Amino acid sequence: MQHTSDLDVPQLKAKTFRCMGTVISFTVPVAPGEGSAAGEETLTAAAAAVERIFRELDARFSLYRPESEASRLARGELQLRAASQDFRDRYAEAVDWRLLTEGAFTPERPDGVPDLSGLVKGVAIQEAGAALQSLGHGDWCLNAGGDVLVAGSPIAGGQASWQAGIVDPQDRRTLIAAFPLGGSTAVRALATSGSAERGDHIWTSGAGVSAFRQVSVAAADIVTADVLATAIVAGGIPMLNRATSGWDVEVLAIRNDGGILATLGFRA
């Protein structure tokens, strides 16, 4: 992990908004000599692009919005074959993940209603990141309720990594770990799933309660990190073993009794 001198302490600007039931923040480093007015205008435009992507996906996929396509499907007013191409593509992507995780990740509620909430936030972060790249932003951090995707460094033009914090599920005011993302590494994403913030909202495989209270996964892309974090909470130890052997990821899993399982990347 690289360390910065006092002269290299990152100077950051951030914008936040609420969507998908959480807070989304977009943070960029301030380049030396960058005019405050120009920098603020650039940040505002980029944040607007990020917010637009989140709101468009939320409007289509949220089961908490009665007018959304997802809600219309849930009420039986719309059949999946008549849904939009975007919805069907995302559903197909989620089905692929169900196969890859041997059922630990699912695109449906127990009653059969399509529920893509385990995928859509990661997709929103991914698409927002692509939009930022297309706008020419090389250094940034997107954080959506603890799911993080970064590019570049917190020091404009630098090689230092962003530090993604992981909160203690027993005490949300305390961090139990930090993981370096971006900079000189290929790992750009970290996602955390579990019951600590939102209660038991993940459909577990088989009967009973998940073996894990919280799972964090670091990966090269946010969708993989997000899906596998959810799948490990749902699938327990067997899915943890599948994820760590089948994907290039690092995992920090916290048992319900407080015990911790961690791959080497989280022990460094």
In this structure, the number of other CB atoms found within 10 A of the CB of residue 58 comes to 19
- pLDDT, residue 157, reads 83
* Stated pTM of the model: 0.90
- pLDDT, residue 36, reads 63
Q: Which residues contact 83 (CB under 8 A, 6 or more apart)?
A: 69, 73, 91
Which of 56-65, 92-101, 189-198 has the least mean pLDDT?
189-198
Q: What's the whole-number average pLDDT of the chain? A: 89
In one-letter notation, the amino acid at residue 234 is A
Q: pLDDT per residue over 168-205, tens digit each?
A: 998 888 999 999 999 989 999 999 998 655 444 444 44
Q: pLDDT per residue over 124-156, tens digit each?
A: 999 999 999 999 999 999 999 999 999 999 998
Q: How confident is the model at residue 27 (pLDDT cuts 50, 70, 90)?
A: very high
* Higher pLDDT among residues 152 and 209, named by residue: 152
- pLDDT, residue 192, reads 96
- pLDDT, residue 22, reads 95
- CA–CA distance, 143 with 131 (Å, rounded to integer): 15
- pLDDT, residue 4, reads 43
Over range 37-63, report the average pLDDT.
91
Whether 8 shows a pLDDT value over 60: the answer reads no
In this structure, the number of other CB atoms found within 10 A of the CB of residue 17 comes to 14
- pLDDT, residue 35, reads 53
Whether 2 shows a pLDDT value over 90: the answer reads no
Q: How confident is the model at residue 79 (pLDDT cuts 50, 70, 90)?
A: very high
Domains and CATH numbers, the chain: 9-267 (3.10.520.10)
- pLDDT, residue 3, reads 42
